[in-house]
């Protein structure tokens, strides 16, 4: 019985010994330092803001907008465009890469702390109310998530939030191509609330109507357009569910014409000029003029088809269509002109070369037959009387008179028979008749002047009209 109290006292003695060593040995105190109490919470910012956020989110309902039933929520926005383009004419859309910023005030998120602005992780955005903004004319929008979601969230101590995200938007751009390729367009970017009417949520530009949308200096990714500027505004649309505020930005684009001048306009002009070269060829050069006409017509057809491949299938004619149609008309008219000249050339040959030649040839052949008879007679007489008739000491030779169908005896002082000039030129009447076949057509002479003059007047009017229409187009776009 005496040994039992001794066994009960031994554990108490060991405990007291351990506590004594802890107080006396600093090394032992360092070993178990992690058991010391944490420093004062008022000096640890992480702990402070953790408690602030926990307190703010405690009982916070992100399904309800700020000021529900009391006031209208104002959402202030601005846009920074980092990249604009490309623009698709075929699909009538454009691509834009932006930093889209929204700011609003939520009284439920006010706090007091050592920092006025509290940067937050994007994960908190899913736990608080955010505007349900969507793009009215957006076909496809992408929020970038590499390497993490490209979002920024900041909370100010008065409850104001700044929410920024990086977006790539494919938006519609209605195009009127009547003036293509000297056209200008105003491509809109429209956004607003999807569910809240203007009695609940309204949108405002953060820095006014001039500086709320900015484009980076090297942000243009356009090959066929010049970005002239942008105009921002606000409009209200009505639907069956109410009226909604829509924020608008119109980006003004002007097409660069250089590509189309090189690829379409200059080939068309050269083809028309080439078709008019045929007016300077002889109208008997049927193969050459046919090649000119057919080749230029086929070339214009090919150019017209290739020019349409880069455009949407619109039902109206563009400025380029009108130009190519007139060029096609000039080329085709040159081919018709050659057909007309060739038709009348054949008729001229039939009358001048055949009918008129036969009318001259018939009496001429009759005279030739008589001349042959007279030559035979003169040959017979020359054998008998040295080819001459001696009458009273004067010598006469057989010859042919100038009158058709008559033979006379003319006086000659030159001895033997001499050939008359009529016999020397006996082939000239038929040759003169055929010369009318090679004369230049009057139609060709007129076409050499009329066609170039009309084509020059057309070009002068065409370019003057469409170049001067540029200010009117830009004015109409500004009104939109």
- For the segment 59-73, the average pLDDT, to the nearest whole number, is 93
Edge-to-edge strands, sheet with 133-135 = 133-135, 184-193, 242-255, 225-239
Tell me the per-residue pLDDT of 170-210, one tens digit each, with 9 for 90 and over: 999 999 999 999 999 999 999 999 999 999 999 999 987 77
The residue that leads in pLDDT, 11 or 52, is 52
How confident is the model at residue 362, as a pLDDT?
Answer: 59
For the chain, the straight-line distance linking the first and the last C-alpha, in angstroms and rounded, comes to 109
Checking if the pLDDT of 393 tops 80, the result is: no
Tell me, what DSSP letter sits at residue 39?
P
Tell me, what DSSP letter sits at residue 132?
-
pLDDT category at 423 given cuts 50, 70, 90 is very low
Average of per-residue pLDDT values in the chain: 79
How confident is the model at residue 53, as a pLDDT?
Answer: 87
As a whole number of Å, the CA-based R_g of the chain is 52
Checking if the pLDDT of 145 tops 60, the result is: yes
Contact 117, 156 (CB under 8 A): yes
Contact 430, 269 (CB under 8 A): no
pLDDT category at 17 given cuts 50, 70, 90 is low
Q: Which residues contact 206 (CB under 8 A, 6 or more apart)?
A: 76, 77, 78, 101, 103, 212
- For the segment 344-358, the average pLDDT, to the nearest whole number, is 51
How confident is the model at residue 307, as a pLDDT?
Answer: 86
Checking if the pLDDT of 447 tops 90, the result is: yes
> How many whole angstroms separate alpha carbon 86 and alpha carbon 221?
6
Lowest mean pLDDT among 19-23, 39-43, 210-214: 39-43
pLDDT category at 468 given cuts 50, 70, 90 is confident
The residue that leads in pLDDT, 385 or 114, is 114
Question: Angle 319-348/266-276 helices, nearest 10 degrees?
Answer: 10
* pTM greater than 0.95: no
| Cα dist from 16 to 19, 21, 25, 30, 275, whole Å | 5, 9, 14, 20, 120
> How many whole angstroms separate alpha carbon 139 and alpha carbon 346?
66
How confident is the model at residue 363, as a pLDDT?
Answer: 61
> How many whole angstroms separate alpha carbon 181 and alpha carbon 226?
13
> How many whole angstroms separate alpha carbon 196 and alpha carbon 193?
6
Question: Angle 266-276/442-468 helices, nearest 10 degrees?
Answer: 160
Tell me the per-residue pLDDT of 109-128, one tens digit each, with 9 for 90 and over: 999 888 899 989 888 999 99
How confident is the model at residue 16, as a pLDDT?
Answer: 61
């Amino acid at each position: 019985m005496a040994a039992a109290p001794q066994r009960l006292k031994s554990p108490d003695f060991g405990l007291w010994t351990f506590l004594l060593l802890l107080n006396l040995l600093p090394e032992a105190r360092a070993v178990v330092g992690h058991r010391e109490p944490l420093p004062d919470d008022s000096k640890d910012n992480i702990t402070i803001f953790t408690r602030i956020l926990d307190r703010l989110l405690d009982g916070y309902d992100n399904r309800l907008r700020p000021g529900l039933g009391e006031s209208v929520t104002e959402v202030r926005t601005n846009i920074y465009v980092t990249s604009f383009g490309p623009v698709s004419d075929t699909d009538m859309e454009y691509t834009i890469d932006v930093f889209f910023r929204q700011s609003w005030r939520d009284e439920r998120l006010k706090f007091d702390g050592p920092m006025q602005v509290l940067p937050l992780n994007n994960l908190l955005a899913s736990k608080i109310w955010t505007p349900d903004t969507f793009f009215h004319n957006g076909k496809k929008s992408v929020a970038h998530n590499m390497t993490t979601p490209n979002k920024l969230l900041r909370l100010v101590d008065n409850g104001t939030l700044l929410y920024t995200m990086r977006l790539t938007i494919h938006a519609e751009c209605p195009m009127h191509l009547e003036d293509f390729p000297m056209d200008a367009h105003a491509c809109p970017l429209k956004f607003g609330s999807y569910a809240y009417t203007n009695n609940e949520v309204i949108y405002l530009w953060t820095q006014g109507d001039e500086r709320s949308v900015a484009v980076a200096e090297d942000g243009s990714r356009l090959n066929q357009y010049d970005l002239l500027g942008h105009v921002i505004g606000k409009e209200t649309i009505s639907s069956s569910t109410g009226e909604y505020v829509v924020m608008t930005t119109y980006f003004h684009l002007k097409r660069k014409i250089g590509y189309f001048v090189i690829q379409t306009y200059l080939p068309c002009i050269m083809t028309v000029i080439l078709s008019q070269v045929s007016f300077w060829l002889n109208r008997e050069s049927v193969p050459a003029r046919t090649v000119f006409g057919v080749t230029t017509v086929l070339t214009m057809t090919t150019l017209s088809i290739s020019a349409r491949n880069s455009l949407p299938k619109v039902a109206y004619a563009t400025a380029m269509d009108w130009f190519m149609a007139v060029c096609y008309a000039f080329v085709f008219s040159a081919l018709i002109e050659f057909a007309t000249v060739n038709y009348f050339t054949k008729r001229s040959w039939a009358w001048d070369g055949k009918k008129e030649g036969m009318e001259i040839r018939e009496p001429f052949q009759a005279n030739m037959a008589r001349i042959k008879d007279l030559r035979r007679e003169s040959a017979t007489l020359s054998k008998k009387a040295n080819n001459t008739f001696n009458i009273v000491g004067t010598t006469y030779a057989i010859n042919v008179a100038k009158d058709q169908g008559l033979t006379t005896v003319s006086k000659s002082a030159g001895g033997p028979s001499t050939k008359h000039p009529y016999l020397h030129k006996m082939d000239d009447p038929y040759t003169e008749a055929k010369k009318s076949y090679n004369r230049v057509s009057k139609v060709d002479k007129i076409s050499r002047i009329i066609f170039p003059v009309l084509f020059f007047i057309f070009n002068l009017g065409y370019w003057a009209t469409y170049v001067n229409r540029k200010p009117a187009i830009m004015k109409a776009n500004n009104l939109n």
